[in-house]
Amino acid sequence: MTEQQRYNQLSQELLEGTPVHAGELLRRAARLWPDNSAVICQDQSITYGQLHDRACLMAEKLKIVGVLPNDHVLIYYENSIDFFIAYWGAWQAGAVVAPLNVFLQTSELLGILHDAHPRVIIVSDKLKLKLDELPQEELPLLLSTQDIAAISSFVGSIPHNPIPPRALDDLAALLYTSGTTGFPKGVMLSSRNIISNAIQGISRFKAGPEDRTYCALPLFHSFPQNVCVWSSCIIGSSSIIIPKVERRMLLEGFKHKPTVIIAVPALYGLFCLMKTVPFGPIRYFFAGGDALSDKIRAYFELIYRRKICNGYGLTESSPFIAVDLDDYTQPTSTVGRPFCGIKCSIRDDEGKELPEGSVGVLWITGDNIMLGYYKAPEATRAVLRDGWLNTGDLAYINPQGKIVISGRQRDLIINKGVKIYPQEVENVLLSNGQVTQAAVIGIAQNQEEIPVAFIGSRTTDKDALIAELKELCLRTLAPYKVPREFIIKRELPVTSTGKTDKKKLKAEYTKLF
């Protein structure tokens, strides 16, 4: 079956005829694959039948404490089986699920609480300590690990009550962005958004019930939610969840024989340093969540004789837009053809379509595009127009119909009217063997922007490395693209999702100079 045929088949079943709410996916999985492992976490596992039972009990608990259809339920949990019970339990109750970033500071948590107005927070014992730091009058009702443990030990009859009626385009999930450009925004996703993007990915990867996905990403992120929470339920596959990025836990996960790995590029870099990871019969090594560098992909292939496939997306698109599975010879800026059902357009700053092959702002449309930002109509209008989403990324479409990313629109540096794409310069810097991280940012100087390079390196001779990098850039890049300054640090700051935190670097530079 071709990718398009698989997509059409699943669309017809799940989105046409009798459309389903996203919460129904678990009921379907429990009916079709009751004994398949849904989640494996260290030495614990849960089948789809068991997960459905516990989610239904969780839903009854939520209803008892006053949760109504469309109420917001925050999930504040580390990577664990309990995360899945809480998540699916909220959906079985007809609630809107909102997973929280477990790395947020208390002030950020308070801001999201004020924005989301949740009826309930389902929280782990460890993370409850962070909530205890907040003014208690600001908190809604809390359900804890003990509540989930009581559900897991329940031996009576299990109420498989129907999910309260919800429309396919009703709000189903509220995902808060990482907030690298300001306060986190709540991305509103409907059941249509969630299901359509899940089947788009399933169709590209030819995924099925025999697959086991290895995931060390934090589950609050849209990337693992799509693959491990939504998509796995549609096909009855298993998710191997790693609680923490720690060497022992990472290695232990491979005893469960994964067939697919999803990871941010930084984790593939760590695997390169580890050198002897027992991957076994893995079909796909999938990188997403941040830009994959040519260097990491080349090192990984050199060490393991395996290839990393590169993908692209953003939370606002549920999150996947494209992935390249059929050509590993092109630079990693080439992220593949758009998924079935997604259309692309390259436009100028005013939103007018550009000629074929031009670099411009990437706009996309499809059933996977978010409803908007929660309680932020102006921010929504800034990125959504007639069903099209402004991704904020600069790109072009190559002759093979694949998207090639040039960088973030907000990261673009304009020097004397000429555009500098930081990603191009960063890839050159990363080709030096001593450089582990690179970030190029624009700094305002004399009414123009100059490129400044921040370098992550363990070198003991910074001056020698800077001289090498200058020579490399002068040899490889046009003179105006060469960074005016090189700042060497042992490591660069990253966000909770593993991306280099350019906002923090810019603030550091401004403070120092």
pLDDT tens, residue by residue, 43-72: 999 999 999 999 999 999 999 999 999 999
Length of the chain counted residue by residue: 513
For the cut 70, the answer to whether the pLDDT of residue 85 exceeds it is yes
The whole-number average pLDDT for the span 238-246 is: 97
CB < 8 Å & 24+ apart, contacts of 407-413: 409/361, 410/181, 411/441, 411/442, 411/502, 412/442, 413/440, 413/441, 413/442, 413/449, 413/450, 413/451
Cα angle: 325, vertex 327, 328; to 5 degrees: 95
* Distance in angstroms (rounded) separating the CA atoms of residues 497 and 319: 14
Q: How far apart are CA 306 and CA 329, in angstroms?
A: 13
Whether 100 has a pLDDT exceeding 70, the answer reads yes
| Position 29 confidence tier, pLDDT thresholds 50, 70, 90 | very high
Average the pLDDT over each of 152-161, 261-270, 496-505 and give the range with the smallest value: 152-161
CA distance 116 to 188: 11
CA atoms within 13 A on the CB side of 144: 8
* Closest listed residue to residue 282, CA positions, set 214, 217, 370: 214
pLDDT computed for residue 105 by the predictor:
83
Bridge partners, residue 418, by sequence: 415
Contact 243, 250 (CB under 8 A): no
End-to-end Cα distance, the chain: 59
Q: Which residues pair with 99 in a beta bridge?
A: 75
440 sits in which H/E element: strand 437-445
Tell me the pLDDT tens digit for each residue of 105-153. Answer: 888 899 999 999 999 999 999 999 999 999 998 899 999 888 888 887 7
User: How confident is residue 207, by pLDDT bands cut at 50, 70 and 90?
Assistant: very high
Rg of the chain on CA atoms, in Å: 23
Q: Is the pLDDT of residue 450 over 80?
A: yes
- Reported confidence tier of residue 293, pLDDT bands at 50, 70, 90: confident
**Domains located in the chain, CATH noted:** 412-512 (3.30.300.30)
Torsions phi, psi of 372, nearest 5?
A: 150, -175
* Higher-confidence position of 480 and 367: 367
**Does the pLDDT at position 180 exceed 60?**
no
Over residues 464-474, the pLDDT tens digits come to 999 999 999 99
